[in-house]
Amino acid sequence: MRKIVLLSILFSGVITIAHAQADSLMDILNSGTPTNKKEYVSYIFKATRIINGSSIENLGAGVLDFRISHRFGRIDQGSQNFYGLDNATTRIGIDYGITKWLMAGIAHNTFNKEDDGFAKIKLLRQKQHGMPFSLSYAGSVSMQTTPAPQLPAADSTKWYFSNRLYYTNQLLIARKFSERISLQIMPTIVHYNLVDSTKFSNNTIAIGIGGRIKLNKRIAITGEYYYRVTNADLTVSGQKTYNALSLGVDLETGGHVFQLMVTNSQGLTDRTSIGQTTDSWSKGALHFGFNISRVFTIIKPKEFRGTTGGKAW
């Protein structure tokens, strides 16, 4: 809990007032979802993910986001593995804004050869005068595609397809305190159909906290931490697991956003990063990584159809 308190102080204790400026990337992300600037608070985060986990932001209706996430191996592996660069994992995904309040996505991960899909629904939006925070629901399912293990002939245990499935449910509660400071809390339940032992619960309850400090129009510092309330001693194939902590930098240029980070989690799905991280910051077992996002307006908002030039805002 001490880490949650320290991160809360880091992301909410510094309040800096700055003049509001519309970021070009967020103009694209929110195309098709015109807002009343006198009412709603916009651009709480720069991208639809803080680092590993989802942010409160949604894609605009008709907007497609092609995303590549990369996590290298452990930095402390030394020159033998080129400080982790020889042992990398990748997630390639496509997200799409279905309506102004609903987005969904699918992806393939090389880590554990896992496929995943998710949906995110806006429930409440922060207002300048009124609603003090934004609220969304995010749910995901992932499926491991590695070959089924060969069980001994004398073993009566059966291997079921359902053993491959994992589910995550989250509430995303976010507030923009100023033009520069944003904070998000993420109550989370991860369900594992299969765990190492009956002494572990199939459900891991975690509380996530994430934040953003905007340095200028193009650069922001981000952080993300998940504290496991239950299953803190969960093992994965006999390996001890740790709470996931990630620190990063967002760099935005036009329709691209580059997210650079250092994290103890090499997994790129919710179930691996939140509940099954097997490396520790305290032991120096860290991974360098990045996310690259490129957004495209696939379906032009009806209020802009027939127009030429300019951005769909």
Cα-based distances in Å from 291 to 35, 41, 137, 227: 28, 25, 22, 23
Residues 41 and 261: beta-carbon distance below 8 Å = no
Using a pLDDT cut of 70, give the percent of the chain over it.
Answer: 82
Read off the pLDDT of residues 229-264 as tens digits, 9 standing for 90 and up: 999 999 998 999 999 999 999 998 876 779 999 999
> Alpha-carbon distance 229 to 187, whole Å?
10
Residue of 4 and 84 predicted with greater confidence: 84
Give the chain's domains with CATH numbers: 2-146+162-304 (2.40.160.40)
- Mean predicted lDDT score pLDDT of the chain: 85
Using a pLDDT cut of 90, give the percent of the chain over it.
Answer: 65
Question: Is the pLDDT confidence value at 23 over 90?
Answer: no
Residues 222 and 50: beta-carbon distance below 8 Å = yes
| Least confident among 11-20, 234-243, 297-306 | 11-20
Phi, psi of 157 (to 5 degrees): -65, 135
Read off the pLDDT of residues 119-159 as tens digits, 9 standing for 90 and up: 999 999 999 989 999 999 999 999 999 888 776 665 667 78
* pLDDT-based confidence at residue 312 (cuts at 50, 70, 90): very low
- Partners of 66 in the beta sheet? 94, 294
pTM > 0.75: yes or no: yes
pLDDT at 251: 93
Residue of 255 and 95 predicted with greater confidence: 95
* pLDDT-based confidence at residue 76 (cuts at 50, 70, 90): confident
* pLDDT-based confidence at residue 22 (cuts at 50, 70, 90): very low
Question: Is the pLDDT confidence value at 220 over 60?
Answer: yes
Cα-based distances in Å from 7 to 30, 32, 108, 223: 29, 34, 31, 8
**Residues in CB range of 267: below 8 A, 6 or more apart:** 71, 89, 109, 111, 112, 273, 276, 277
Question: Is the pLDDT confidence value at 14 over 60?
Answer: no
How many C-beta neighbours within 10 Å does residue 152 have? Answer: 7
Nearest to 44 by CA among 36, 56, 32, 54: 56
Average pLDDT over residues 283-301: 90
